[in-house]
Amino acid sequence: MRSESIAHILRILRENDTFLVTSHARPDGDAIGSALGFQHLLEGLGKSVTVAFADPIPSMYHCLPGVHRIVHQMPQHPPEVAIVLECDSIERTGFARIDAGMILNIDHHQSGRTFGHVNWIDPEACAVGAMVYDLAVASSVNITPSMASCLYTAVLTDTGSFTYASTGAETFGLAEHLLERGADANGIAQSIYFSNPASKLRVLGTALTNLEIDDEIAWTFVSRTEMDAAGAIAEDCEGIVNHLISIAGIRAAVFLRELPVGDCFRLNLRSKGSVDVAEVAERFGGGGHRNASGCTVDGSLAEVVPRMLNELRSACRSGCATLIA
């Protein structure tokens, strides 16, 4: 099935000339690295490609080759093929619509949906960047240092620096090959992990001050007022939830960030082992992976927290039942 999907997609890439590549709103390392890696792949095939994101690119990814060419609106002339990466719908891109002769949907989330004309969904893949890598290898296109750096970033960030359950021996083999092809591992690490603005540390401090522990669940939040006081923006909150799930004895964690619209929160969920937070996120209109997911929920903090904690308690109980079975 996987080899058939790759062969089918390669035929589409070779038979068409103009492409759009996009991914989800609030882009992360996998979305950006995969999209730019795909750009390098398509250009290696001699194609015309535009990479578009509805939202700004976080500063930590400004080091990636080709990032300066990303645009934030749809191209004036519809492409023959639009490639949508790790989204469960067109709406998830943040664009109202995508005009193209064909929609190619590539995803690795277990919550992935077949909304495209052609769909390749592989929940076993550690990152969409790994799927783009497989396409690059199968295409025989030269994996340049630029492409390798983009795909390495995708894999590094979406495996939680090679710590998530999706990380396997093949993941390290992929990373090794990308390093051999010239991926700038040190430069990428410096940009992503060691170039934090002071505002990110301030908002982390606020979040840790607000920390609450409910048995096996850790949760915290930051309000709009606290975000403003820290001088923080949305990207400064990336990774806060990982501090919560790192606590000994905690099996599920959630970080809530109040959105500017008011009475609405963006939730990042993490879990350990068999606790499935993807199912929890899906109940609130979100999705993701078993151990890393997200969603946006309307309501006040006093309304949202009890609802989320109830769902997470249920997920923890289900996870225990799975282990016993």
What is the per-residue pLDDT across 52-69, written as a single tens digit (0 to 9) for each?
Answer: 999 999 999 999 999 999
C-alpha–C-alpha distance, residues 297 and 146, integer Å: 38
Contact 82, 102 (CB under 8 A): yes
Q: How do strand 287-288 and strand 18-22 relate by DSSP bridges?
A: unpaired
pLDDT reported for residue 320:
64
Place of tokens 């989320």: 308
Residue 158's SS3 state is helix
C-alpha–C-alpha distance, residues 214 and 73, integer Å: 43
Q: Residues of 87-117 as b/e, b for ≥16 C-beta within 10 angstroms?
A: bbebebbbbeebebeebbbbbbbbbbeebbe
**pLDDT per position as a tens digit, 24-44:** 999 999 999 999 999 999 999
Digit-by-digit pLDDT tens for the chain (325 residues) are 688 999 999 999 999 999 999 999 999 999 999 999 999 999 999 999 999 999 999 999 999 999 999 999 999 999 999 999 999 999 999 999 999 999 999 999 888 899 999 999 999 999 999 999 999 999 999 999 999 999 999 999 999 899 888 899 999 999 999 999 999 999 999 999 999 999 999 999 999 999 999 999 999 999 999 999 999 999 999 999 999 999 999 999 999 999 998 789 999 999 999 999 999 999 999 988 889 999 999 999 999 999 999 999 999 998 665 444 4
Q: Phi, psi at residue 267, to the nearest 5°?
A: -110, 130
